[in-house]
Structure 1
């Protein structure tokens, strides 16, 4: 949870790998140590980026539709599963597709669309029809509840990818992929009392809630600098602050920024940031302990999903959700919205989320949720 001087997502190294793959190489080693190209008229970097932007758009849009429909057979066709790394990459997406379906069933929602926006960073011709590339991807999901299909909710996820595409018979297939998977912490969902959970969620109504000016400023800051903000803020963090992702995670740093820059909370000797941040500013466990221990915040509930999902409807924009795994807080996010049923939506870094349902990607029964009311 500590920082480096990098402030733009364009400069991020690839951090999170598929669990079964070896250590991912850095961007420089995977793209610059190339085998000589067998193309007698190689394309320039600009031409390669333009070409593979369109190719990758097609692959990701096809993959999104397969995730939407849980079409595993068509999904598999996007990968060269005869190669070990291609098989691993496919198997991970297969698990994710099933997880999204299970989560939607638990939630009582229908996904309507999944659409990705790509920022290509580098492309290298590695010879013999093999191309390596790194890129940032912002993926927008839209959904509605089954009993109110007209009320559409959208959320975004930001991911950083390293991909190898191999051309064969005029078609490119994925032979290797690492990316900062927002679901990597929890690709399992308990079915215990899922029907009871679904009915509770569907029967819930959004609260009659009006946000105050101070909290609105916190929400606005979160949405602007979450890494997948609109316009010029897409794939960018606030360069006033160090980016902590390469040292383990930027979630607490960003939550602290939201509370200070947006929420107007004053710094002090324990929670502070100058050229670097204090532990309570940067570390998820210390951040949670400080806010609850200082009296600036208090608990709403703590427990597994099935123990807190009803209490979670007490969360309001500006509040905090902390996620505990194996006895430690490993992630924190800020509530910045409520959907049409009043379900809390969170915004955070590491990986980047914008108005995402608070438990999506954190559904394992081993995860303990800390629901925290911030006293604005």
Structure 2
């Protein structure tokens, strides 16, 4: 019994000593992280919540979006910390985007009547400066044609994901940096972000003499199993376009499939899904173009299913696709016999547009609609687009387009 009491006493002493050491360690550790003489400092907690930061971003976006219409960018710089290079670059990028959108619409006699975007704050992290936010932004653009007697409002959407740092200056949150993959990046190369005039020019680029060619869509027909159902392909492309207000689908993408965004791009995978999924176009798989389904989702596709260049080669050599036009934007909109709006007028719902930078096949999109003048509209992934005018964002002189009719 004495031996047992002795063992218990010894255990209590050892445990007390251990707890004392832990306490001293925690005390010294706290000393280390809070000592002003140390190189490492704590990140000061910032009191914030998702609702507050959502309101901050909404207010910034609301003012910025109004600038697409007013063309007055006077207020834009006040939302950025231009005392350092990341803030300057972020501001310059927005200036480029506004300038490009203005020029693009003026060249086509289009007029933005309403632009809005909805931010969804997915994550907030404290930083040494302030806050880092992961934000999904869902745009809705509305436009008309200037010379129409009774203008029809056309709508398209774009989805972006931002990683932005915010800091507080004079009691207000402003943008320290804003990083995002921009679907208009290619077209912005020709633009300077320098603010030379607080009012965007109404017109300073070559104007295109686009014709008005409203698309008359045929009545849907029954499609044999295994053949390409274009109407269902478009419905699938809309459902999984990644923009909630347009799709009504909060899942964003179809999780039956691997998402290749960030590992080569998801554009071709998305077009292949729209064409081949049973919920979509239902086009029968073959030995070259197919995907392997898995029990818990994340299906992997063959090279022809996911790679833009391989997909183009497959379509043309298999006979499932036919190139009905190729060239620059100006070449494809040039009037020709029976097609006053150019060869672009030959496109039908469910057809494809392939985008090439020089000889490099870079991107695929599916034709999902036509605006009030018959201008083809497309859906894409990697950067989510819903019924976006087919050439918007592709302004580099080195860009060529392939128009592919799917049989």
**TM-score interval, normalised by the smaller of the two chains:** 0.7 to 0.9
TM-score by length of 1: 0.83
Map of 2:53 onto structure 1: 52
Quote the residue 1:219 is aligned against. 234
Cα separation, 2, equivalents of 1:189 and 1:365: 10
Q: Tell me if structure 1 keeps the 8 A contact 2:160–2:180.
A: yes
2:317 equivalent to 1:293? yes
Name stretches of at least 5 consecutive residues in structure 1 with no aligned partner.
Answer: 1-33
Q: Does 1:134 align with 2:134?
A: yes
Q: 2: distance between equivalents of 1:235 and 1:192?
A: 42
Q: Please, what TM-score do these two structures have when normalized by structure 2?
A: 0.77
SS at match of 1:340: coil
Aligned ranges for residues 210-359 of structure 1 at < 5 Å? 210-213=218-221, 214-230=229-245, 233-234=249-250, 236-261=252-277, 262-274=280-292, 275-309=299-333, 310-359=342-391
Distance in 2, matches of 1:35 and 1:58, equals: 33
Unaligned runs of 5+ in 2: 1-39, 192-202, 222-228, 293-298, 334-341
Q: Which position in structure 1 is the counterpart of 2:75?
A: 74
Matched-pair contact (CA < 8 Å) for 1:63–1:78: no
| 1:139-165 Cα deviation digits (max 9, x unpaired) | 010000012263000000010100111
Counterparts of 2:75 and 2:204 in 1: how far apart (Å)? 30
Q: Distance in 1 between matches of 2:171 and 2:218?
A: 55
Q: Deviations over 1:181-213 (max 9, x none)?
A: 110122257999933x2x3x2x32203222525
Distance 1:189 1:91, change over 3 A: closer
Distance 1:143 1:269, change over 3 A: same
Q: Residue 217 and residue 332 in structure 1: after superposition, are their counterparts in 2 closer, same or farther (change >3 A)?
A: same
Which residue in the other structure is 2:216 paired with? 208
Partner SS for 2:285: coil
Question: Structure 1 residues 35 and 244, CA, compared in 2 at 3 Å: closer, same or farther?
Answer: farther
Q: 1:146 to 1:235 in 2, by over 3 A?
A: farther
Question: Whose Rg is larger?
Answer: 2
The verdict on how the C-alpha distance between 1:297 and 1:120 changes in structure 2, with shifts beyond 3 A counting, is: same
Q: Say if 1:346 and 1:353, in contact at 8 Å, map to a contact too.
A: yes
Question: Which protein has the bigger strand share?
Answer: 1
- The 2-side partners of 1:194 and 1:301 are apart by 23
Which residue matches 2:226? Answer: none
